[in-house]
Amino acid sequence: LVQSTSYPANDNLMELLVCIDALRRASARRITAVMPYFGYARQDRKPGPRTPISAKLVANLITTAGADRVLTMDLHAGQIQGFFDIPVDNLYASPLMAADLRERYDPGALVIVSPDVGGVGRARGIAKRLDASLAIVDKRRERAGTSEVVNVIGDVSGRLCVLVDDIVDSGGTLCNAAQALVEAGATSAAAYVTHGVLSAGAVARIAASRLETLVITDSIRATEAVRVAEKIREITVAPLIGEAIRRISDESSVSSLFD
């Protein structure tokens, strides 16, 4: 069953659950939920008291409905795999991003940038594949009530910077990071992001930003606004997901896809 639980997330999630239930009652030998985008993944812990861990609830719902396995991509936090007691394959878009970057730029001239401290591992992975350098945008609020200070860690002066992230939602993180990079002397800033959530206002925010281009994957079906946006380009993850489905069906290794 292939279903991204993107907007409208609850409708798409419910549809996935009832389809799993139908297949289970029809004696399917094995049911794999293929979720290129796993909605609610950012709610993976309690940031404060009396808040839900919705990603865990979604994991429980999928398991209870009867899925035997989950195939997903660039989970916001890898630990979400541990919310399930069934196998979870977490694919990575980074090889596709690296290949696209290699086609368009001289990799040695690039600086791969994480837009926040949490994404450093992802950015380092792509930088390593390309043999490019690495920088980090560090945002911090010195004291409650004071405005956020944005520091760029690493040398970006006179360089083409490529921000990489798992999700672009409002676009705020990327647009602020692009602004900080240009202020730190970068010649230009582009972004490669796996999941283009792009909620209301995001497309306009990106159009007005210092970002030269935003590349997303088709893990979420693009809206018309995204399709016609001049700065936004889509690369497909369909062959990668197709190959992973084939390997699951053949009971061969999925992880070796990334060797």
Please give the residues from 35 up to 64 whose contact with ligand R5P meets the rule CB under 6 A.
42
Q: Is residue 6 close enough to count as binding ligand R5P by CB under 6 A?
A: no
In the list 75, 80, 126, 168, the residue contacting ligand R5P (rule: CB under 6 A) is 168
Q: Least distance in Å: CB of 129 to ligand R5P?
A: 19
Q: Is residue 169 close enough to count as binding ligand R5P by CB under 6 A?
A: yes
Per-residue buried b or exposed e for 159-173, using 16+ beta carbons within 10 Å of the residue's own CB:
bbbbbbbbbbbebeb
Please give the residues from 89 up to 148 whose contact with ligand R5P meets the rule CB under 6 A.
115-116, 118-119
Q: Write out the two tokens for 164.
A: 């990489």
- Between CA 258 and CA 255 the distance in angstroms is 6
Q: Is residue 229 close enough to count as binding ligand R5P by CB under 6 A?
A: no
Chain centre to alpha carbon of residue 12? 18
Q: Is residue 172 close enough to count as binding ligand R5P by CB under 6 A?
A: yes
Question: CB under 6 A: which stretch of 27-35, 65-73, 143-151, 167-175 binds ligand R5P?
Answer: 167-175
In the list 112, 167, 186, 191, the residue contacting ligand R5P (rule: CB under 6 A) is 167
The yes-or-no answer on residue 139 being catalytic is: yes
Catalytic residue among 46, 56, 128, 139, which? 139
Residue type, 132: A
In the list 171, 219, 220, 237, the residue contacting ligand R5P (rule: CB under 6 A) is 171
In the list 173, 209, 217, 219, the residue contacting ligand R5P (rule: CB under 6 A) is 173
Taking Cα atoms as reference points, which of 45, 35, 44, 39 lies closest to residue 88? 35
Residue type, 83: F
CA distances from 219 to 51, 75, 149, 177, 250 (A): 28, 12, 33, 23, 23
Q: Least distance in Å: CB of 188 to ligand R5P?
A: 20
The residue among 116 and 218 lying less far from ligand R5P, judged by its C-beta, is 116
Query: If phi over 0 gives left and psi between -120 and 50 gives alpha, with beta otherwise, what is residue 71?
Result: beta
In the list 43, 133, 170, 187, the residue contacting ligand R5P (rule: CB under 6 A) is 170
Taking Cα atoms as reference points, which of 49, 165, 140, 155 lies closest to residue 109? 155
Q: Are 197 and 169 in contact (CB under 8 A)?
A: yes
Query: What are the catalytic residues?
Result: 139
Site residues for ligand R5P per CB under 6 A: 42, 115-116, 118-119, 165-173
